[in-house]
Chain A
Amino acid sequence: MPRNTLTGTRIRERRLVLGLRQSDVARGVGISPSYLNLIEHNRRRIGGKLLLDLARRLSVEPSALTEGAEAAQLEALREAAVAHNGAKEEMTRIEEFVGRFPGWAALLSDQSRRIADLERTVELLTDRMAHDPHLAASLHEVLSTVTAIRSTAAILADTDDIDPEWQERFHRNIFDESQRLAHGAQALVNYLDETTGDAEMISSPQEEVEAFLRKTGHHVAPLERARAPRVQQLVKDATELTSVPARELARSYLKRYRQDALRMPAAEFLDAAARCGWNPAVLAAEFDAELAAVFRRLATLPKEDVGFSIGLVVCDGSGTLTFRKPVEGFSLPRFGAACPLWPLYQALSRPSVPIRSVVETAGRTPHRFLTYAICQPLPQSDFTRPPVLEASMMILADPGLSLREQAMPVGTSCRICPLGDCIARREPSILSDGF
């Protein structure tokens, strides 16, 4: 979908100059703060009445918000023309083209950028292509789609006297192929980054433990009983735990699970949690437990009892994720570092300060989550050693808990994050300009 690349940035700049809050401006024009946030990050198109309303709210002429977008589009078309030899003779007519057909010009520049992005992606993945048949098939799909878009867009750009019927057909083809490209590229990224749950894909002791816990729904029923079996026996019986390090990790996890269960018995805890609206601070006070333990305990409650999903991530002082209980819509990276914008890392930089935050995940379908995070030192008996920190973040998927609050956009990990203009970005995304 074509869009003005700079309008959102200009709206944001103007708002900040006036010192206005995003939520106040959004309310003034009758939209949600998260939608304004998307507009300000150029992730939603804007025009018509909403543009006029925003311009009025920001005390500027509408043209002041949109000027510059056309310049960016002209530049994008010039780049496309340089890359495509056939259009060079028409370079002098680019402004005329944009003026007469602004919609098609935007479509062409958008497609041109997308092709450039995909060519970079293909370059990055070429090495793997030779060794992975599934990947080769997926890339073939992407390349075929790119070819169709490129050829069709070139026809529209190069042909002055195109028959309206053909023109209509080609526009439809470009749209169809763009949709297909979006799905194909997303499937490719998912293939590369998703945890499949397939035993053959398990590559670390941590993943063995996660596979074991997934099987239990993260609720280890035997450890909830008054007379629980020995942790050692549970580990021995678990077929998912094949390596010695995985069994060691599982033992440590299950011992802590048992301690949490004894301090916060399931039935009593569930009742109290529902009563206080899943507020971990209230539960910590009521059960005389640390916040991190309350997070862990909430994340072990069966989903059917809670009514929605509760996820949990834990990291050590280096930021490495040491525990992951995923929630649908909030992707957790399987390899490498996570998004530095997660409240988990804010907590890590401010030990012992509880952080409550509403976040919205980046992607084609944004999801909102309420998160609670805390960083605490692990118990140790030696004053001569530096403290060892551990941060935990609980992720609540119930939209009713956070729907009206302003949300902070977050990603999964930089490589597959489509968020633009992110100060925390470590490396360019292979999803530049959003599939």
Chain B
Amino acid sequence: MGKTVLLIEDEPNIIEAIRFILLRDGWTVQTHSDGETAYDAVRDTMPDVVILDVMLPGRSGFDILREIRTTDTTAHLPVLMLTAKGQVRDRELAEQIGVNRFMTKPFSNTDVLASVRELTGG
């Protein structure tokens, strides 16, 4: 069984596409679409990488990232953030909270895959 990616995203067709490219690359992919319970999913799954959308129903990706970073058991997890909000201030905010990689939509599949591999030292 390969390493695990937890994909937190609420767009079904984006989930489908990312899931497909990661599965073909040998990853185990778990998905979650609700912002409010997203941190619970991170804690329960303890994936090798988290892919986290910024605008989620129920709770912002920034808040979820903050909880990941301020909780001892999850603070070390690599997080790749995906967002349609490409403004400098959003990127800066994500970096301040402790994101490992920040990508703006529309992104390329190749870049997503390369980032996930890099974040796990692959």
Contacts and interface: CB of A to CB of B under 8 A. Distances in A.
Contacts of B73: none
Given A86-B108, A166-B20, A176 B13 contact: yes
B84 A140 contact: yes
Given A148-B11, A148-B17, A169-B16, A140 B85 contact: yes
Nearest to B21: A155
A254 interface: no
A320 B108 CA distance: 46
Interface in A125-184: 129-130, 136, 139-140, 143-144, 146-148, 150-152, 154-155, 158-159, 166, 169-170, 173, 176-177
A126 B11 CA distance: 22
B117 to A, nearest CB: 14
Given A86-B110, A140-B55, A155-B21, A146 B105 contact: yes
B105 A143 contact: yes
Interface in B65-104: 84-85, 87
B46 interface: no
B105 A86 contact: no
B84 A152 contact: no
Q: How extensive is the interface on chain A, given as a class?
A: 20 to 34
A176 B16 CA distance: 13
Contact of B13 (A85, A115, A152): A152
A84 interface: yes
A297 to B, nearest CB: 52
B108 A150 contact: yes
Contacts, number: 66
A154 B13 CA distance: 13
B109 interface: yes
B108 A143 contact: no
Contact of A144 (B14, B87, B109): B14
Contacts of A119: 106
Contacts of A158: 109
A151 B17 CA distance: 6
A154 B108 contact: yes
Interface in B34-61: 55
A151 B11 contact: no
B85 A150 contact: no
Given A85-B110, A115-B106, A143-B105, A151 B14 contact: yes
Nearest to B54: A140
Contacts of B107: 147, 151
Given A86-B109, A140-B84, A143-B106, A152 B17 contact: yes
7 contacts: A86-B108, A139-B84, A140-B55, A147-B107, A148-B14, A155-B17, A166-B20
Interface of B: 11, 13-14, 16-18, 20-21, 24, 55, 84-85, 87, 105-110
Interface of A: 84-86, 115, 119, 129-130, 136, 139-140, 143-144, 146-148, 150-152, 154-155, 158-159, 166, 169-170, 173, 176-177
Given A152-B13, A176-B13, 5 more contacts: A140-B84, A151-B18, A155-B17, A155-B109, A159-B24
